[in-house]
């Protein structure tokens, strides 16, 4: 886990944003596949948090990157 953390903190902002968006999409997919309502809510909440992290990590050149939410 710490290796991944070091890679994320060393990555440029655009790369971190992309990684966070992929994690959000993965979490959304897991939520759709979940049969347990509690688990589904947990995955959905995690996806929301990853999308927020992606937005914060997005380059701040006046344009917010567009996200496709499933």
Within a domain: 13 = yes
Judge whether residue 62 has pLDDT over 90: no
Give residue 12's pLDDT. Answer: 62
Give residue 61's pLDDT. Answer: 41
Within a domain: 65 = no
- Residue 59: pLDDT band by 50, 70, 90 thresholds? confident
Range of the domain at 27: 2-57
Within a domain: 49 = yes
> What digits encode the pLDDT tens for the residues 14-56?
578 889 999 999 999 999 999 999 999 999 999 999 999 999 8
Within a domain: 26 = yes
Count of structural domains, the chain: 1
Q: What sign has the CA pseudo-torsion 52, 47, 17, 61?
A: negative
């Amino acid at each position: 886990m710490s290796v991944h953390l070091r890679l994320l903190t060393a990555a440029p902002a655009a790369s971190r944003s992309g990684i966070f968006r992929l994690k959000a999409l993965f979490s959304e997919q897991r939520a759709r596949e979940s049969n347990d309502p509690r688990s589904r809510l947990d995955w959905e909440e995690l996806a929301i948090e990853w999308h927020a992290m992606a937005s914060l990590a997005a380059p701040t050149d006046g344009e917010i990157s567009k996200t496709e939410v499933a």
